Amino acid sequence: MSPESQNLLRGATLADAPKLLEFVRAYYAHDGIPFDESSIRSGLNVLLQDSSLGRAFLVQDGEQDAGYLIVAFGFDLEFGGRQATVTEVFIEDRHRGQGLGTRIFAQLEVICRSLGIGALELQVEEDNLEAQSFYQKLGFYAHRRIPMSKMLNAIRKTPKDKGEIMAYINLKTPIPGPKSQALQARRAAAVTAALGQASPIAAQKAHGSLVEDVDGNTLIDLAGGIGVLAAGHTPQAVVEAIKAQAEDLIHICSIVANHQSYVEVCELLNRLTPGVFPKKSFLSSGGAEAVENAVKFARRFTGRDGILVFEGAYHGRSNLTMAMTSKYSLFKKGFGPFAPEVYRLPLPNLYRTPKGMSPEDYLEWCCWNLENALVAHIDPSALAAMVIEPVIGEGGFIPVPHKFLRKIREVCDATGAVMIADEIQSGSGRTGKMYAIEHSGVIPDLIVSAKSLGAGMPISAVTGRAEIMDSPHVGGQGSTYGGNPLASVAAIETLKYLSKPEVLAKATAVERVVRETFEPMKKDFPVVGDVRGVGAMMVVEFVKDPVGKEPWPEFTLEAIKTASANGVILIRAGLYTNCIRFLPALEIPEDMLREGLGVVAEAIRRTYKTMTVDT
């Protein structure tokens, strides 16, 4: 068989995907194009399963695969209807110089004519004169037109400004789309304006770490319902448990009658929380309710009233928990007067160590100040409890130094006060341990759980020493919906899943990828002041300059808007609202996480270019 009569283009199938991927990798390396394997693999799978989009061919040189060619189909009235564009063509070096390129384009022309294609197009780099000459000899001619692109579902670019197709984000409309906007108008008319909204979309369904809105757009969720979805959206075991439970019993109220799932949740919490001593639990519906209940247990057990809390803390929106919460303007303004006997102390946020002090000196001072508070603010005989988030949540994901946690434990032991760990956001596996305080080795008396405990179902808990939990009189505690059967079975399945060592280990992987993405940006983008957190509970804090560290909430908001418009759901955090927080599902695929974080990183770059840094 003569070379001219050989079949040089073999239509690729799904079975050829690995070979195609190998050739694409070689081509991108040859031309210096960043290679995102997950994105390329996903794109090839789509193309190979939908012939209406185009064709992928393996180039044959005798019995060997020598390269690949991809042609995409389009429609253009100028060319009589159907047209095709060669988007990628690559031949290995060892197969070049034999006229193979000329012959494969001759065969491609025959194939396209048989499909009713009226024109064949391709693009060549302006400075690649050799390629231009080659294609002109094949009959291609240059247009007096400049190719222009607008990426509709990605904002990442290669150095050659070639758009990368996202593997997971799929935007069919601008964000927000028309249906989201219509529902937003209805919300404005029907729902109190006091209820904020971080993302402009209207969600319709969600699975894992992907959310689909009412317009059919698919977005990556890095907010996790404000830390509620460590197990991801709609985990199958939870969904099945809720369905089965709904067939038998939806509500009975634990005050009226016992039910198995309530008891089982409490048994699991008693086993999974730190501390080897007799424990008991009490279930309620939300985080603020649980914190307030923990304070009630502590006050009843000690016979005292005083509560010590810390700057940057968020404990809820009831009257007592607002009194315990920092960030006055957002959470407390206009809602007073607040419950008395709440005392607030500085927290050692080492990123904001006062000028003239080392971080070590500042931490030492905070420990001294904690002891001094028992003279300056409250008598030890009046102190019922100290309440601490082991990783400060709303205040900016500040990991509390272990030395400071040990000092709290020491003071509580010395005064007889109850140490309460508010693990509403940092618990349920979020930091790589079931409870964040486990990283320090400190054992609290009571632990408060909520958020991810129910994988989206409303349930919270107080768990702790049996003698404290049994101190109120019978009937002294209660919750109409607390531990209802549907929420309880959800919590059972969630706890079983999140407590698996291999799942907990995923949180550490999330932290690694977040740090790899944003730590290097500090050098070229001084607005990136700090990257911190533990496990799958991370923030990037933005400042106007890296020395003065003046918070820049406006930059934060603009970066979030840009990322949202490009398919990533985010929320802010921080005492100054100048942080982007990341609360993904623990088992978010790494390539999905990198895709989402890549969008955020590009949003930061774009925002940096459009906003003036005040130095």
CA distances from 122 to 106, 141, 142, 231, 582 (A): 15, 10, 10, 46, 41
Q: What is the mean pLDDT of residues 171-177?
A: 92
pLDDT of residue 128: 82
pLDDT exceeding 70 applies to what percent of the chain? Answer: 94
pLDDT at residue 599 is higher than 60: yes
pLDDT at 446 over 80: yes
Q: Which residues pair with 422 in a beta bridge?
A: 448
For residue 8, give the 3-state DSSP assignment. Answer: coil
Q: What's the whole-number mean pLDDT along residues 381-397?
A: 97
Q: Look at 4-18, 352-366, 368-382 and tell me which has the smallest mean pLDDT.
A: 4-18
- In 257-311 the beta strands, taken as DSSP E runs, fall at 279-284, 306-310
Output the pLDDT for position 357. 96
Predicted local distance difference test score (pLDDT) of residue 158: 35
Per-residue pLDDT tens digits for 523-564 = 999 999 999 999 999 999 999 999 999 999 999 999 999 999
Secondary structure letter of residue 235 according to DSSP:
-
Q: Are strands 528-534 and 537-542 parallel, antiparallel or unpaired?
A: antiparallel
pLDDT at 163 over 90: no
Instruction: Return the bridge partners of 212, or none.
Output: 205, 218
Q: What is the pLDDT of residue 614?
A: 45
CA nearest neighbour of 169 among 50, 333, 82, 42:
42
If you ran DSSP here, which 8-state letter would residue 79 be given? G
Comparing 146-150, 172-176, 271-275, 564-568, the range with the smallest average pLDDT is 146-150
pTM of this prediction?
0.75
Nearest-5° Cα angle at 224, 237 to 551: 165
State residue 126's pLDDT score. 76
545 Cβ partners below 8 Å, 6+ apart? 526, 613, 614, 615
Weakest-pLDDT range from 317-321, 333-337, 565-569: 333-337
pLDDT of residue 336: 87
Which pLDDT belongs to residue 440? Answer: 98
Residue 79 confidence (pLDDT):
63
Judge whether residue 2 has pLDDT over 50. no
CB 384 within 8 A of CB 306: yes
- Confidence band of 6 (pLDDT split at 50, 70, 90): low
Q: For the residues 431-442, what does the mean pLDDT come to?
A: 98
Tens-place pLDDT, residues 272-307? 999 999 999 999 999 999 999 999 999 999 999 999
Q: What is the DSSP string of 159-171?
A: TT-PBPPPSS-B-
CB 569 within 8 A of CB 228: no
Who contacts 557 (Cβ-Cβ below 8 Å, separation ≥6)? Answer: 572, 577
What H or E segment, with its residue span, contains residue 85? strand 81-91
> Contact at 8 Å (CB) between 218 and 254?
no
Q: From CA 234, how far away is CA 236, in angstroms rounded? A: 6
Q: Any idea what the Cα angle at residue 205 is, between residues 202 and 208, rounded to 5°? A: 120
HEC sequence for 338-351: CCCCEEEECCCCHH
CATH tag for 236-499 (out of 3.30.460.20, 3.40.50.720, 3.30.565.10, 3.40.640.10): 3.40.640.10
The stretch 356-363 carries a mean pLDDT of 96
Sheet containing 218-221, strands listed edge to edge, beginning at the edge strand earlier in sequence: 203-207, 210-213, 218-221, 568-569
Both tokens of 503, joined, read 């799942």
Domain ranges of the chain: 3-137, 178-227+502-610, 236-499
Structure token digits, residue 309: 């809390």
For 58, the enclosing helix (H) or strand (E) is: strand 54-61
Please give the pLDDT value at position 162: 37
pLDDT tens-digit readout, 79-111? 677 899 999 999 998 998 888 999 999 999 999
CB 366 within 8 A of CB 411: no
Q: Would you call 114 exposed, middle or buried from its count of C-beta atoms within 10 A (0-12, 13-18, 19+)?
A: exposed
Prior bond to 337 cis, omega within 30? yes
Residue 261 CA, distance from chain mean position: 30
pLDDT for 38 beyond 80: no
Distance of CA 168 to the CA centre of its chain: 14
Categorize the per-residue pLDDT at 45 as very low, low, confident or very high, splitting at 50, 70 and 90: confident
Residue range 217-245, pLDDT digits in tens: 999 999 999 999 999 999 999 999 999 99
pLDDT of residue 424: 98
DSSP secondary structure, 98-137, as one string: SSHHHHHHHHHHHHHHHTT--EEEE---TT-HHHHHHHHH
Q: How confident is the model at residue 129 (pLDDT cuts 50, 70, 90)?
A: confident
**Does domain 178-227+502-610 correspond to CATH entry 3.90.1150.10?**
yes
Q: What are phi and psi for residue 559, nearest 5 degrees?
A: -65, -40
Q: Is the pLDDT of residue 154 over 50?
A: no
Token pair of 546, please? 């890296």
Three-state secondary structure readout of 358-378: CHHHHHHHHHHHHHHHHHHCC
Choice among 121-130, 252-261, 268-277, 511-520 with the minimum mean pLDDT: 121-130
pLDDT digits (tens, 9 = 90+) for 458-489: 999 999 999 999 999 999 999 999 999 999 99
Mean pLDDT of 582-590: 96
Which pLDDT score is estimated for 55?
Answer: 94
Structural tokens at position 81? 């209807």
Work out the mean pLDDT of the chain and round it to a whole number: 92
Whole-angstrom distance, CA of residue 481 vs CA of residue 583: 27
Distance from C-alpha of 148 to C-alpha of 154, rounded to nearest angstrom = 15
CATH entry 3.40.630.30 includes domain 3-137: yes
- For residue 253, pLDDT beyond 80: yes
